[in-house]
Structure 1
Amino acid sequence: MSELLKVERIVAGYGEAKVLKDIDLSLEQGQALALLGRNGTGKTTLINTIVGHTRRFAGRIWLNGADITGFKPHQRALAGIGWVPQERNIFKSLTVEENLTAIAVPGPWDLARIYRMFPRLQERRANMGNQLSGGEQQMLAIGRALMLNPKVLLLDEPLEGLAPIIVQELMRILSDIIRDEGLSVILVEQNARKALSITHNAVVLERGSVIHASTAAQLLAQDEKIDTLLAVSQH
C-alpha cells in the first residue's frame, strides 16, 4: 500500500491561537483511520486544517505525493479531499438531487450509486434540504461528498445527535464504504469503540498533540487503555 495523505509537523489554529502542535499523521491508500480524543483536543481543527480552513503556522500536507499545503479549500476538494463537516452544510434551498449533482465530479461515485447506497435519498430526491430529518441530512452530506469522487473522505462526527436506528444504518454504510469500497477515510467520532470497529488504525489527540497511535484492533482490545486515553467510560 502507498501513502495517500501525509500531515507533516503541522502547527495550526485560529487567529493567533495555536491548537495543533507538531502533528504528524499518515494515511495509506484504502485504509481508514479513527481520529479520537476528548472534546477540545484538536480533532476538528486537524480535519479543518487538512481541508484548508485554519491558519497554518508550520508544516506541510501531501496528497498522493503532491504538496497541497498552499492550496485553497476548493483546490483541495478538486485535488481529492472529500469533507463531511459537523454542521453538514447542505444546501437547504435545493432538492436532494440538486444537492448531489451541484458540485459532482465525474467518476465511479455517481447518482445511481449514491441512491443504491442511500435508498432513502432516492425516495426523497425531490425534497428540499430543509425538509429532511437530521439523519437524512447526514446521509445527504455523505452522499454529496462522495459525488466529488474524493481520494480521501474526512468525516467529522457523522453520528452525532442521531437516533440509534439511524446510527446503526450509517455505521453499516460507513463500514461498506471502508471495507467493501476501499475508500480512504479519516473518521472523527466520540464513541471510540464504534469508530475502532470499522477502521484499520487509530490516533488519539490530547491538547493538540498525538498521544497514541496503533492499529484499531490493538486499541479496541484494550478497554482500560481506551478509557484512560479518553478519560471517560464508553461501555
Structure 2
Amino acid sequence: MPELLQVEKLSAGYGEAVVLNDVSFAIGQGQTLALLGRNGTGKTTLINTLAGATRRHAGSISLGGIALHKLPSHERAGAGIGWVPQERNIFKSLTVHENLSAVARPGPWTAERVYQMFPRLAERKNNLGTQLSGGEQQMLAVGRALVVNPKLLLLDEPLEGLAPIIVAELLKAIHRITSEEGLAAIIVEQHPQAILRISHRAVVLDRGTVVHSGSAHELLAAPELLDRLLGVAR
C-alpha cells in the first residue's frame, strides 16, 4: 500500500521549546494509526504539528506528495487534513447544520452523509452547539472534519469523558470511516485497548520521541509490552 502520510525526522514545539524530537513514521491510505503514550509525552503536540498549530524546528511532513510542513495551518484542510482537537472547537452559537455548512468543501462527505452516520445530529440539526450533550458535540466535531473532505483525520482523544454507549457509537463510526470509506486516521487515546482493536498501526511516544512503532494488533496481543510502554495493561 502506498504511503499517504510520511513524517521524517520531525522536531517541533512551542516557540523555542522543543517537544518532539526526531519523530518518523508513515501510514497508508485507509489505515488507522493509534498514537499512544503516557500523559505529557507529546501526542497532542504531534497532532497539532500535523495541523500546523506549532513551530516546526526540523524535519518534513508529506501528505499525498504535498509538502505539508510548508503550508500555513489555514491551507492544510485544502491539502487533505481533517482535525478534531481535544477542545472540539465547534461553533457553539451556530446550529448543528450551520456548523457543518460553514466549513464544508466539495466532495463525497456532505451534511446529509454525516446525518446518516450520526442520526442523533439529524434529530438536532436546528439545535445550537450549546444545546448539545458532550457526546453530540464530539459527533459534530467529527462531522465537521468529514465535510472538509479530508484524506487524513486527526482525532485527539475523541472518547474522553463520554458515556460507554457514545464511545461504542463513535468507535463504530471511526472504523467505518477508515475501513469502508478509505480515509486514513491518527487517533490519540489514553485508554489504548479500544483504539488498538480498530487500528492497523501503533506508535508510542515517550518524552517526545518514538519508542515503539509496529502493528496495532501485535501490540494489543502483547500485554507485557503494552504495560511496560504505557502502564495500562494490568
State the TM-score, normalized to the length of structure 1: 0.97
CA offsets 1:6-39 (integer angstroms, 9 cap, x no match): 1111110012110000000211111110000001
Q: Using the TM superposition, name which of 81-90 and 1-10 deviates more.
A: 1-10
Match of 2:62 in 1: 62
Unpaired stretches in structure 1, ≥5 consecutive residues: none
Once the two structures are superposed, the pairs formed by residues 101-180 of structure 1 within 5 Å of their partners are 101-180=101-180
Query: Could you say what secondary structure the match of 2:70 adopts?
Result: coil
Whether contact under 8 Å (1:41, 1:206) holds in the other structure is yes
Residue identity in the other structure for 2:200 = H
Q: Is the 8 A contact 2:31 2:200 kept in 1?
A: yes
Q: Offset at 1:171?
A: 1.2
Hey, what's the Cα distance between the residues in 2 that align with 1:5 and 1:74?
19
- The answer for the alignment partner of 1:183 in structure 2 is 183
AA aligned to 1:40 is G
Distance 1:13 1:231 in 2: 26
* Structure 2: runs of 5 or more not aligned: none
| Residue of structure 2 equivalent to 1:221 | 221
Q: How many residues align?
A: 234
d(CA) in 1 for partners of 2:159, 2:20: 24
| Percentage identity across paired residues of the two chains | 63
- Cα distance, 1:182 vs structure 2: 2.2
What does residue 12 of structure 1 align with?
12
Distance 2:25 2:129 in 1: 35
The TM-score normalised by the length of structure 2 is 0.98
Q: State the shift of 1:99 in Å.
A: 0.2
Match of 1:78 in 2: 78
- Aligned-residue Cα RMSD (Å) equals 0.9
Distance in 2 between residues matched to 1:55 and 1:183, nearest whole Å: 27
Contact kept? 1:12, 1:54, Cα under 8 Å: yes
Is residue 204–residue 213 contact of structure 2 (8 Å, CA) maintained in 1? yes
- Once structures 1 and 2 are overlaid, which stretch shifts more, 166-175 or 205-214? 166-175
Name the CA distance, whole Å, in 2 between partners of 1:11 and 1:153.
21
